[in-house]
């Protein structure tokens, strides 16, 4: 069997093994006449590298989809002081961009008025986190309502969902306490999520238009629950986004 036949057979075998990018890389190397100029290690590096990059990209896209962050244009490099807004404390976005807070299990509270860029920052961090970490983005009110409904109709599925939320490396709760929580069951679910994730040292990002000292009034004036939730949400990093006049 000549060299070309052996390469053809190898390409077919790679495709059968569901390694199409390695097969395509081998074909490309041969068609451009570079095969004989590469040493064995360099040839292997190019073939494995192409497959690794494709698989890594697919894994990243799957994580984005599961995190409800697919198609997002948000990038952390755009979260910096500008003519439109300022981020406080200074250099906080650079600190968070390292994602060390996720590795260390620290929480982030992002505060600011409507359209100040809270969701953008949270999503940008979430998208970057999907490269390495299990992440999920939710509107807080929708999540609590769905969790209460699930708890009422199928407690086993509710417990399974709670376990899923606990396993996440990063949970993002957007529009945190946007409206007054009038259902005590939602308060209990919110406290359970924040409490258990805190115990497990899992990072949670909350984005809120409300100043933390007003949270009690949004939770049926339940000072005990509000203080417990406040303590966990603001325990580590608090980011304030201020629109410039």
170 in Cβ contact with 68 (< 8 Å): no
How far apart, in whole angstroms, are the C-alpha atoms of residue 89 and residue 241?
Answer: 9
User: 206 and 106, same structural domain?
Assistant: yes
Does 153 map to a domain? yes
Is the same domain home to 227 and 166? yes
Q: Which of 37, 66, 95 is the last residue of a domain?
A: 66
pLDDT of residue 89: 96
Q: Are residues 137 and 18 in the same domain?
A: no
Which residue range forms the structural domain that includes residue 24? 3-66
**Which residue, 225, 174, 232, 160, is CA-closest to 201?**
232
Closest by Cα among 146, 74, 104 to 236: 104
Domains: count for the chain = 2
The answer to the question of residue 25 being in a domain is yes
Q: Can you give the pTM of this predicted structure? A: 0.79
pLDDT at 170: 98
Max Cα-Cα span within the chain = 82
Nearest C-alpha neighbor of 131 from the set 55, 81, 56, 32: 56
Whether 73 is in a domain gets the answer no
Which residues of the chain fall below pLDDT 50?
none
Measure Cα distances from 100 to 25, 74, 184, 185 in Å: 36, 19, 35, 33
List C-alpha distances in Å: 5 to 1, 11, 176, 232.
6, 10, 63, 64
78, part of any domain: no
Assess whether 135 and 184 both reside in one domain.
yes
Q: Same structural domain for residues 46 and 153?
A: no
189-225 in b/e form (b: 16+ CB < 10 A) is: bbbebbeebbeeebbbbbbbbeebeebbebbbebeeb
Is the domain of 127 the same as that of 229? yes
Each residue of 143-155: pLDDT tens digit?
Answer: 999 999 999 999 9
H or E stretch including 209?
Answer: none
Is the domain of 45 the same as that of 92? no
């Amino acid at each position: 069997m000549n060299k070309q036949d052996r390469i053809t057979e190898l390409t077919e075998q790679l495709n059968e093994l569901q390694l199409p990018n390695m097969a395509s890389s081998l074909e490309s190397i041969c068609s451009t006449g570079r095969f004989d100029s590469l040493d064995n290690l360099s040839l292997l590096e190019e073939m494995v590298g192409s497959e690794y990059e494709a698989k890594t990209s697919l894994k990243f896209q799957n994580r984005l989809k599961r995190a409800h962050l697919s198609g997002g244009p948000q990038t952390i490099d755009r979260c910096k002081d500008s003519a439109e807004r300022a981020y406080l404390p200074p250099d906080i976005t650079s600190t968070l961009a390292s994602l060390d807070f996720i590795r260390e299990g620290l929480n982030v509270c992002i505060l600011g008025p409507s359209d100040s860029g809270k969701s953008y920052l949270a999503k940008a961090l979430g998208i970057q986190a999907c490269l390495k970490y299990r992440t999920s983005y939710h509107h807080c009110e929708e999540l609590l309502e769905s969790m209460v409904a699930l708890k009422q109709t199928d407690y086993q599925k509710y417990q399974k969902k709670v376990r899923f939320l606990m396993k996440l490396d990063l949970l993002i709760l957007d529009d945190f306490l946007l409206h007054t929580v009038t259902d005590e069951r939602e308060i209990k679910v919110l406290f359970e999520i924040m409490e258990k994730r805190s115990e497990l040292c899992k990072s949670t990002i909350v984005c809120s238009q409300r100043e933390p000292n007003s949270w009690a009034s949004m939770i049926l004036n339940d000072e005990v629950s509000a203080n417990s939730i406040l303590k966990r949400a603001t325990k580590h990093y608090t980011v304030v986004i201020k629109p410039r006049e």
